[in-house]
Amino acid sequence: MTTLRAFTCDDLFRFNNIGDRLLLNSAPQYGIPFYLQYLAHWPEYFIVAEAPGGELMGYSEGATVLMLCVFTVMGKAEGSVAREEWHGHVTALSVAPEFRRLGLAAKLMELLEEISEKKGGFFVDLFVRVSNQVAVNMYKQLGYSVYRTVLEYYSASSGEPDEDAYDMRKALSRDTGKKSIIPLPHPVRPEDIE
Amino acid sequence: ADYLDNGNNKMAIQQADKLLKKHKDLHCAKVLKAIGLQRTGKQDEAYALAQEVAALEPTDDNSLQALTILYREMHRPELVTKLYEAAVKKVPNSEEYHSHLFMAYARVGEYKKMQQAGMALYKIVPKNPYYFWSVMSLIMQSISAQDEHLSKTMFLPLAERMVEKMVKEDKIEAEAEVELYYMILERLEKYKEALDVVRGKLGEKLTSELQSRENKCMAMYKKLCRWPECNALSRRLLLKNSDDWQFYITYFDSVFQLIDESWTPPPEEEHSLEGEVHYSIEQAVKFIEERITEESQSSRPLRGPYLAKLELIRRLRHRGCNDEYKLGDPEELMFQYFKKFGDKPCCFTDLKVFVDLLPSSQYTKFIGELLGVIPLAAGAGNGAALPADIRALQQHLCVVQLSRLLGLYHAMEKQQKLTVVRELMVRYRHGLEFGKSCLKTELQFSDYYCLLAVHLLLDLWLEGEDTAVWQCLTLLEEGLSHSPSNAQFKLLLIRIYCRLGAFEPVAELYSSLDAKHIQHDTIGYLLTRYAEALGHYAAASQSCNFALRFFHSNQKDTSEYIIQAYKYGAFEKIPEFIAFRNRLNSSLHFAQVRTERMLLDLLLEANISTSLEESVKSMSLSPEEDDIPWKDLRDNRDLTVLFNWDPKDKDISEEHRKLSLEEETLWLRIRSLTLRLVSGLPSLSHPLQPRNSEKAAENGVSSRIDTVRALLQQLEAALEAGKKFLEQKIQYPVLGPPPTRMAGFFSSGSCQCQTSLFYLVSDIYELDTNGLEDSAEIQERIGNSFKSLVERLTDLFNKCKGDLIEVRDGTLKTHPNLLENLVFFVETISIALWVSSYCDSVLRPFKSNLQKKKKKKKESSVTMPPVFTHFLDYVTELQTLTSNVIDHIKGLEIILTALKLEELSLKDTLLLQEEKKFTKTVQGKVQSSYHHSVQEIGELLKKRLDTIKKLKI
* Nearest beta carbon to residue A22 from set B252, B302, B487: B487
**In sequence order, which residues have a C-beta less than 8 Å from that of residue B650 and are 6 or more positions away?**
B407, B410, B733
Task: Band the pLDDT of B539: cuts 50, 70, 90.
Answer: very high
Return the minimum-mean-pLDDT range out of B61-65, B377-381, B819-823.
Answer: B377-381
Task: Band the pLDDT of A129: cuts 50, 70, 90.
Answer: confident
* Higher pLDDT among residues A167 and B554, named by residue: A167
Give the DSSP H/E element, type plus range, for residue B814: strand B811-814
Give the DSSP H/E element, type plus range, for residue B805: strand B805-808
What is the Cα–Cα distance from B901 to B899, expressed in whole angstroms?
A: 6
Interface contact flag, B560 A33, Cβ < 8 Å: yes
In chain A, where are the structural domains located?
3-192
Among B830, B839, B661, residue whose Cα is nearest residue B767? B839
Interface contact flag, B638 A2, Cβ < 8 Å: no
**In sequence order, which residues have a C-beta less than 8 Å from that of residue B159 and are 6 or more positions away?**
B135, B138, B139, B142, B184
* Higher pLDDT among residues B943 and B914, named by residue: B943
**In sequence order, which residues have a C-beta less than 8 Å from that of residue B475 and are 6 or more positions away?**
B425, B450, B453, B454, B457, B915, B918
Phi-psi label, residue B729: left if phi above 0, alpha if psi -120 to 50, beta otherwise:
left
Interface contact flag, B561 A57, Cβ < 8 Å: no
Task: Band the pLDDT of A22: cuts 50, 70, 90.
Answer: very low
Span B195-216, pLDDT tens digits: 999 999 999 999 877 788 999 9
Rounded to the nearest angstrom, the minimum Cα separation between B661 and chain A is 14
The nearest alpha carbon in chain B to A48 belongs to: B210
Which residues on chain A are in Cβ contact (under 8 Å) with B516? 22, 24-25, 28, 31
- Check: CB of residue B166 under 8 Å from CB of residue B131: yes
Interface contact flag, A32 B518, Cβ < 8 Å: yes
Span B541-584, pLDDT tens digits: 999 998 999 998 887 788 889 999 999 899 999 999 999 999 99
Interface contact flag, B517 A31, Cβ < 8 Å: yes
Interface contact flag, B245 A2, Cβ < 8 Å: yes
What is the Cα–Cα distance from B760 to B778, expressed in whole angstroms?
A: 11
- Check: CB of residue A35 under 8 Å from CB of residue A23: no
The nearest alpha carbon in chain A to B570 belongs to: A40
Quick one: pLDDT at residue A84? 75
Q: Quick one: DSSP state of residue A68?
A: -
Q: What is the 3-state secondary structure (H, E, C) of B730-743?
A: CCCCCCCCCCCCHH
pLDDT above 90 covers what percent of chain B?
69
Quick one: pLDDT at residue A77? 57
A17-27 average pLDDT score: 40
Quick one: pLDDT at residue A9? 85
Which residues on chain B are in Cβ contact (under 8 Å) with A3? 244-246
Interface contact flag, A22 B513, Cβ < 8 Å: yes
Q: How far is CA A160 from CA A129, A152, A154, A155, B785, in A?
A: 16, 9, 9, 5, 63
User: Does the pLDDT at position B939 exceed 50?
Assistant: yes
- Check: CB of residue B534 under 8 Å from CB of residue B820: yes
- Check: CB of residue B39 under 8 Å from CB of residue B29: no
Task: Band the pLDDT of A81: cuts 50, 70, 90.
Answer: low
User: Does the pLDDT at position A58 exceed 50?
Assistant: no
* Nearest beta carbon to residue A43 from set B307, B573, B640: B573
Rounded to the nearest angstrom, the minimum Cα separation between B697 and chain A is 50
Phi-psi label, residue B535: left if phi above 0, alpha if psi -120 to 50, beta otherwise:
left
* Higher pLDDT among residues B245 and B589, named by residue: B589
The type of residue at B325 is Y
What is the Cα–Cα distance from A99 to B349, expressed in whole angstroms?
A: 10
Span B42-58, pLDDT tens digits: 888 889 988 988 888 88
User: Does the pLDDT at position A4 exceed 80?
Assistant: no
Rounded to the nearest angstrom, the minimum Cα separation between B653 and chain A is 9
pLDDT above 70 covers what percent of chain B?
95
What's the CA dihedral at B218, B219, B222, B226 to 10 degrees?
Answer: -50
Task: Band the pLDDT of B2: cuts 50, 70, 90.
Answer: low
Span B143-199, pLDDT tens digits: 998 888 888 899 999 999 999 999 999 999 999 999 999 999 999 999 999 999 999
Q: Which residues pair with A47 in a beta bridge?
A: A6, A73
The nearest alpha carbon in chain A to B636 belongs to: A13
User: Does the pLDDT at position B626 exceed 90?
Assistant: yes
What B243-246 contacts at long range (C-beta under 8 Å, 24+ apart), as own/partner pairs, is B243/A1, B243/A2, B243/B302, B243/B303, B243/B304, B243/B305, B244/A2, B244/A3, B244/A4, B244/B304, B245/A1, B245/A2, B245/A3, B245/A51, B245/A52, B245/A57, B245/B304, B245/B307, B246/A3, B246/A5, B246/A57
For A3-192, the fitting CATH number among 3.30.300.30, 3.20.20.70, 3.30.70.100, 3.40.630.30 is 3.40.630.30
Which one of B394, B511, B518 would you mutate to disrupt binding with A, by most A Cβ within 10 Å of its Cβ? B518
Q: Quick one: DSSP state of residue A60?
A: S
Quick one: pLDDT at residue A60? 25
* Higher pLDDT among residues A188 and B382, named by residue: A188
The type of residue at B16 is A
What B609-616 contacts at long range (C-beta under 8 Å, 24+ apart), as own/partner pairs, is B611/B682, B612/B678, B612/B681, B612/B682, B612/B834, B612/B837, B613/B682, B616/B678, B616/B679, B616/B682
What is the Cα–Cα distance from B670 to B677, expressed in whole angstroms?
A: 10
User: Does the pLDDT at position B275 exceed 60?
Assistant: yes
**Mean pLDDT for all residues in chain B:** 90
* Nearest beta carbon to residue A58 from set B252, B523, B573: B252
Beta strands across the sheet bearing A145-155:
A3-6, A47-50, A72-78, A87-93, A123-129, A161-171, A145-155
Largest CA distance in chain B: 121
What is the Cα–Cα distance from B343 to B399, expressed in whole angstroms?
A: 11
Q: How far is CA B647 from CA B407, B408, B409, B457, in A?
A: 6, 10, 11, 16
Quick one: pLDDT at residue A55? 33
Interface contact flag, A97 B210, Cβ < 8 Å: no
Beta strands in B310-430 (DSSP E): 376-377, 386-387
A126-149 average pLDDT score: 90
**In sequence order, which residues have a C-beta less than 8 Å from that of residue B637 and are 6 or more positions away?**
B521, B522, B523, B525, B588, B589, B737
Span B743-782, pLDDT tens digits: 999 999 999 999 999 999 999 999 998 888 888 899 999 9
User: Does the pLDDT at position B256 exceed 90?
Assistant: yes
User: Does the pLDDT at position B602 exceed 90?
Assistant: yes
Q: Could you give all domains of chain B from N- to C-terminal order, each with its CATH number? A: 1-213 (1.25.40.10), 486-645+673-684+704-714 (no CATH)
Interface contact flag, B576 A2, Cβ < 8 Å: no
What ranges in B241-329 are assigned the alpha helix state H? 245-260, 281-296, 304-318
Rounded to the nearest angstrom, the minimum Cα separation between B24 and chain A is 40
